[in-house]
Structure 1
Amino acid sequence: MVAAAAVLLRPDASAPSSAPPSAAPAELIVGDGRTVTLLSLGGDDTDALLDRVAAELGEATARVEDFWGTDWNREITVVATDSPTQFAAAAPGAPAGMAAVAVADDVDLDRRVATGQRIVLGPDAHRMSDAALRIVLAHELFHYAARTDTAADAPRWLTEGVADYVARPAPSATTPSPVPSALPADADFDRPEPELSRAYDRAWMFARFLADRHGPAALRELYRRAAGPDRVPAEDALREITGAEPAALLQQWRQWSAGPR
């Protein structure tokens, strides 16, 4: 099982067990002719949530295709769960309390094939606002799209930062932006709130900085070079793509974060 997590909602956990769907899966077409299967494992909350997902998924797909291109899985499956037990069964090994997670049963990076891919929505996902749901869907859909181009040991500041770059709108010019001290370590993405949100924010800000200074194509190339199956160290990829030393880039990032954008 391969997983990529999004937003932490609450820290409860349950033992896994199987649960049948409450209704036959619904289907729709989005983006570049992709087939979406929406599967509800619960009741009123999950059915209503999937109605909202159906309304938002077209825009989320467009965001991913605009950044990443169209060469990725033609079928998208979204599963809505109604309890921690259902979530644990649909996303084995994923941390409890997540808003959503993109998982796959198996990934063959050499053949660029992922089996059993799905986005699993947590039991509290229906509480999200439309804006939050829109971000979570695009974030997880990027992980879904990039699954066969992402090494298991890819740096999480890069995988999560790029996913958030695709998903999150830029803040307004008047929104305060804390000046970062350093990129988050992989372990920072396993910490409880509020440290978890700070890790995502720093990764997102660095991805935004790179795209702003060097262009979205450079950010995409950095992902492929430093997070792909034949990845090189991120420091080397940054030098190749930006022409700057990593230490100098971090200093530029801090200056960029402190100034108007």
Structure 2
Amino acid sequence: MDPVRRALVRLLLPALCALVAAAGCAAPDPSAPAVDAQVRRAVADWAAAPPARLAGVPLEGWSYEVTSVRREGDRASAQAELRYRLAGYDTAPAGSGRELTLTRDGAGAWRVTADGPAQGAPPQLWDQGEVAAVRGARSLVLGVGQSPQTLSDLAAGADRAVPAASAAWPGPWAGRVVVLVPATLDAMAALLGRPADAYRGMGAVTTGATGGGPAPADRVVVNPEGYAELSSAGRQIVLTHETTHVATRTATTARTPQWLSEGFADWAAYRDGPPAPAEAAPTLARAVRLGDLPAALPEDAAFAFGGDQDAMARAYEGAWLACRLIAARWGDAALVRLYELAGREPLPTALDQALSTDLPTLTKAWQQALREDLA
């Protein structure tokens, strides 16, 4: 280094050190690693005994993976990922972001004093109250604020839904279903992280991952208010529809058109007692009678929660009638084959391979069926 540069370094070094000090940099707290380890041990101890609100729930693998610790005096908070399984139902651990609060007692020991959802993460069912569990032959129903009779009735309905879904979907799946029943519509919406208006009037929805692999945490989540308004037959249709979504999950991807996914689930739900098309599709029937024949199969956006209710009803009804047509004209096996292919191939390719037809031809056949069945 030449003399001029050495002189500049000598001049600038004190100034740089002063800037670092002014920015608030300080020597690391030597006690931080020890506190971090103590907090992690306290969280591990907490995980050894799941909340009392879950006393009747078959749990396994309950653990917290701490991702960060923040301490302020005798209080600390830990960000963690909760992992657990419902024994006999989940194929892999389900996950949930959590924030735990800890305090240090007079003896210096850290203890968890609160455990809740992390910022931005939805609550879990047990965050809303004590969870009651009812086991069916093929189902597990978990509820908060519900009567034992309500949960037992749901378990019986879910037990009937599982073989109905299996009859429609011959592909491999677990053959069992988990049903969550929160106390209110607002509580349901909180579990799903959406506004309550998105689910108003609906009987239930299904959660879970898509992408061609097994979803460890498929859950049918019941809207207790919408479900209560349904007839006995309507409740069974809803449970079978949602259970079919669970059954077809491994074949459902972002490629799968919503009209095929939702239409197939309704087709499965109506197979045992097929209603007259105009009876099961009253909103679309009314539109067709007024001359408003759909120009195309329903777009994915038409199925979005919280939108125009009539438009969504027409989309669901049209999707069911499309799948009903495919099964009647090409056969049940061809409909299943189309569903399998549509999850991994472009729709035109799937239609060609499964039905030896194309989208314009299918659309025209569907429109003709709507005229005949609904008008």
Question: What band does the TM-score fall into relative to the shorter chain?
Answer: 0.7 to 0.9
Per the alignment, residue 332 of structure 2 pairs with 216
Per the alignment, residue 170 of structure 1 pairs with 274
Per the alignment, residue 234 of structure 2 pairs with 132
Q: Flag the 1:108–1:173 CA change in 2: closer, same or farther, 3 A.
A: closer
What is the aligned-residue RMSD (CA, Å)? 2.6
Q: Flag the 1:252–1:84 CA change in 2: closer, same or farther, 3 A.
A: closer
Query: Which one of the candidate residues 119, 129, 134 is aligned to 1:20?
Result: 129
How far did 1:56 drift? 2.1
Q: Give runs of aligned pairs for residues 113-124 of structure 1, distance below 5 A.
A: 113-124=214-225
Partners of 2:231 and 2:247 lie apart in 1 by 24
Q: Which runs of 4+ in 1 moved over 6 A?
A: none
How far did 1:171 drift? 2.6
Q: Residue 240 of structure 2 contacts residue 269 of structure 2 at CA under 8 Å; is this kept in 1?
A: yes
Q: Flag the 1:260–1:122 CA change in 2: closer, same or farther, 3 A.
A: closer
Q: Residue 16 of structure 1 contacts residue 85 of structure 1 at CA under 8 Å; is this kept in 2?
A: no
Partners of 2:217 and 2:321 lie apart in 1 by 32
Partners of 2:220 and 2:194 lie apart in 1 by 14
Percent identical: 32
How far did 1:260 drift? 5.9
Per the alignment, residue 60 of structure 1 pairs with 161
Query: Which one of the candidate residues 147, 151, 168 is aligned to 2:249?
Result: 147
Query: Which residue identity is paired with 1:204?
Result: W
Query: Which residue identity is paired with 1:183?
Result: L
What SS does the aligned partner of 1:29 have?
coil
The worse-fitting range, judged by mean Cα deviation, of 51-60 and 140-149 is 51-60
Per the alignment, residue 250 of structure 1 pairs with 363
1:51 pairs with 2:152: yes
Q: Write the deviation string for residues 69-91 of structure 1: whole angstroms up to 9, x where unpaired.
A: 26212442111111234213433
Q: Write the deviation string for residues 23-50 of structure 1: whole angstroms up to 9, x where unpaired.
A: 3x111213xxxxx111111133xx4432
Per the alignment, residue 300 of structure 2 pairs with 186
Q: Residue 16 of structure 1 contacts residue 88 of structure 1 at CA under 8 Å; is this kept in 2?
A: no
Partners of 1:59 and 1:75 lie apart in 2 by 11
What SS does the aligned partner of 1:59 have?
helix
Q: Flag the 1:58–1:70 CA change in 2: closer, same or farther, 3 A.
A: farther
Q: Give runs of aligned pairs for residues 64-103 of structure 1, distance below 5 A.
A: 64-69=165-170, 71-93=172-194, 95-97=198-200, 98-103=202-207
Q: Write the deviation string for residues 163-216 of structure 1: whole angstroms up to 9, x where unpaired.
A: 111113433377584454320101111232111100001111100000000001
Partners of 1:20 and 1:75 lie apart in 2 by 25
Per the alignment, residue 140 of structure 2 pairs with 37
Q: Residue 207 of structure 2 contacts residue 219 of structure 2 at CA under 8 Å; is this kept in 1?
A: yes
Higher relative contact order (CA 8 A, sep 6+): 1
Alignment: residue pair count: 234
Structure 2 unaligned residues grouped into runs of 5+: 1-93, 95-120
What SS does the aligned partner of 1:115 have?
coil
How far did 1:107 drift? 5.4
How far did 1:220 drift? 0.5
Q: Residue 338 of structure 2 contacts residue 350 of structure 2 at CA under 8 Å; is this kept in 1?
A: yes
Partners of 1:159 and 1:74 lie apart in 2 by 19
Per the alignment, residue 5 of structure 1 pairs with none
Q: Residue 258 of structure 2 contacts residue 300 of structure 2 at CA under 8 Å; is this kept in 1?
A: yes
TM-score (norm 1): 0.80
The worse-fitting range, judged by mean Cα deviation, of 167-176 and 141-150 is 167-176
Greater gyration radius: 2
